[in-house]
Chain A
Amino acid sequence: MNLEGKKALVTGASRGIGREIALELARCGADVVVNYAGNEQLAQEVVEEIRKLGKKSMAIRANVADSQEVEQMVKEAIDYLGGLHILVNNAGITRDQLIVRMKESEWDEVLDVNLKGVFLTTKAVTRQMMKQKQGRIINISSIVGASGNAGQANYVAAKSGIIGLTKTTAKELASRNITVNAVAPGFITTDMTSQLTEDVKNDLAKQIPLGRLGEPKDIAKTVAFLSSDNSSYITGQTIHVNGGMYM
Chain B
Amino acid sequence: MSDVFERVKNIIVERLGVEDEKVTMEATFKDDLGADSLDVVELVMELEDEFGLQFSDEDSEKIVTVGDAVKYIESKL
A interface residues (Cβ-Cβ under 8 A, vs B): 127, 130-131, 172-173, 175-176
Within the assembled complex, what's the spacing in Å between the Cα atoms of A131 and B48? 13
B11 to chain A, nearest CB (A): 14
Contact A175 B38 (CB under 8 A): yes
Within the assembled complex, what's the spacing in Å between the Cα atoms of A175 and B42? 12
Within the assembled complex, what's the spacing in Å between the Cα atoms of A130 and B36? 14
Give the secondary structure class of B's interface: helix
A176 proximity list for chain B (CB < 8 A): 38
A173 proximity list for chain B (CB < 8 A): 38
Within the assembled complex, what's the spacing in Å between the Cα atoms of A130 and B43? 11
12 contacts between A and B (CB under 8 A): A127-B45, A130-B38, A130-B41, A130-B42, A130-B45, A131-B42, A131-B45, A172-B38, A173-B38, A175-B36, A175-B38, A176-B38
B41 proximity list for chain A (CB < 8 A): 130
Within the assembled complex, what's the spacing in Å between the Cα atoms of A175 and B39? 10
Within the assembled complex, what's the spacing in Å between the Cα atoms of A131 and B49? 12
Interface size class of B (residues with CB under 8 A): under 10
B61 to chain A, nearest CB (A): 15
B interface residues (Cβ-Cβ under 8 A, vs A): 36, 38, 41-42, 45
10 further A-B pairs in the complex, CB-CB below 8 A; given A127-B45, A175-B38: A130-B38, A130-B41, A130-B42, A130-B45, A131-B42, A131-B45, A172-B38, A173-B38, A175-B36, A176-B38
Within the assembled complex, what's the spacing in Å between the Cα atoms of A130 and B45? 10
Within the assembled complex, what's the spacing in Å between the Cα atoms of A148 and B38? 35
B40 to chain A, nearest CB (A): 12
Within the assembled complex, what's the spacing in Å between the Cα atoms of A10 and B38? 26
For B46, the closest partner residue in chain A by CB is A131
A172 proximity list for chain B (CB < 8 A): 38
A175 proximity list for chain B (CB < 8 A): 36, 38
For A128, the closest partner residue in chain B by CB is B45
Within the assembled complex, what's the spacing in Å between the Cα atoms of A175 and B45? 17
B42 proximity list for chain A (CB < 8 A): 130-131
B58 to chain A, nearest CB (A): 15
B38 proximity list for chain A (CB < 8 A): 130, 172-173, 175-176
Within the assembled complex, what's the spacing in Å between the Cα atoms of A76 and B24? 39
Within the assembled complex, what's the spacing in Å between the Cα atoms of A172 and B42? 13
B51 to chain A, nearest CB (A): 16
Within the assembled complex, what's the spacing in Å between the Cα atoms of A173 and B42? 12
For A126, the closest partner residue in chain B by CB is B41
Within the assembled complex, what's the spacing in Å between the Cα atoms of A172 and B36? 11
Within the assembled complex, what's the spacing in Å between the Cα atoms of A205 and B41? 49
A132 to chain B, nearest CB (A): 12
For A123, the closest partner residue in chain B by CB is B57
A160 to chain B, nearest CB (A): 27
Within the assembled complex, what's the spacing in Å between the Cα atoms of A127 and B54? 13
A-B complex: 10 closest residue pairs judged by Cβ atoms: A130-B42, A127-B45, A175-B38, A176-B38, A131-B45, A172-B38, A130-B45, A130-B38, A130-B41, A175-B36
